Amino acid sequence: MAEHKIITPVTDEVIEKLRAGDTVYITGYLYTGRDSAHKKLIELVNEGKELPIEVEGQIIYYVGPTPARPGKPIGSAGPTTSYRMDSYAPTLHRLGIKGTIGKGSRNEEVKESLKKFKAVYLAAVGGAGALISKSIEGAEVIAYPELGPEAIRRIKVKEFPCIVINDMYGGDLYEEGKKQYRRD
């Protein structure tokens, strides 16, 4: 298992180097979004309208951060459960999203989409939202401010820590872990 420092936006060549179990530190910008925001994005796609975010080479972090304390760009920013975005992820991969960050497993359709569109699913450590927020240097609402914490934000990150769960080759860290500790 390797360690990678990547800068957004990411290219196919960067994604090709990542394997399930690798540690990744992201510097650059991420977009945030959860269920409600994803639903709105897909409605725009279905209507043939322009999205409020740049998707090519980008990474979406599934998070609804808490309000920022004075002098801080963001509050606690722990990952939310990813399967709630599974129905939306393949469309966003097709449009150019190269990664998503959350917690928990993804369905088979998402895993196939990662292979087809050269993308990865990354996990941030659940329960470590306050610690994760220390790698976030700035945040601004880009779309859907009416959604409050679920609004789409563009966050500036420096060495944001993640682990590759699903790579573009079909690797699945959760499944590998289960096999390693299964008693037959």
Would you list the DSSP string of 65-79?
Answer: PPPPPTT-S-S--PB
Work out the pLDDT band at 71, boundaries 50, 70, 90.
Answer: confident
C-alpha to C-alpha distance for 184 and 172, rounded to whole angstroms = 20
Residue type, 168: M
C-alpha to C-alpha distance for 135 and 93, rounded to whole angstroms = 25
C-alpha to C-alpha distance for 182 and 7, rounded to whole angstroms = 36
Instruction: Go through the chain and tell me how many residues it has.
Output: 184
What is the residue extent of each domain of the chain?
3-169
The CATH fold assigned to 3-169 is fumarase (3.20.130)
**What is the pLDDT averaged over residues 66-89?**
88
Work out the pLDDT band at 126, boundaries 50, 70, 90.
Answer: low
By DSSP bridging, strand 120-123 and strand 99-102 are parallel
Catalytic site positions: 38
Q: Give me the half-sphere count of Cα atoms (radius 13 Å) on the Cβ side of residue 129.
A: 18
CB 58 within 8 A of CB 26: no
Residue in the block written with tokens 């500790």? 181
C-alpha to C-alpha distance for 93 and 97, rounded to whole angstroms = 5
What per-residue confidence (pLDDT) applies to 127?
Answer: 64
Using only C-alpha atoms, the chain has a radius of gyration, in whole angstroms, of 16
Q: For the chain, report the end-to-end CA distance as a whole number of angstroms.
A: 25
3-state secondary structure of 122: strand
Whether pLDDT at 3 is above 60:
yes
What per-residue confidence (pLDDT) applies to 184?
Answer: 56
Q: Tell me the two tokens of residue 135.
A: 């790698």
C-alpha to C-alpha distance for 29 and 53, rounded to whole angstroms = 12
C-alpha to C-alpha distance for 108 and 90, rounded to whole angstroms = 11
CB 160 within 8 A of CB 27: yes
Whether pLDDT at 17 is above 70:
yes
**What is the pLDDT averaged over residues 10-36?**
97
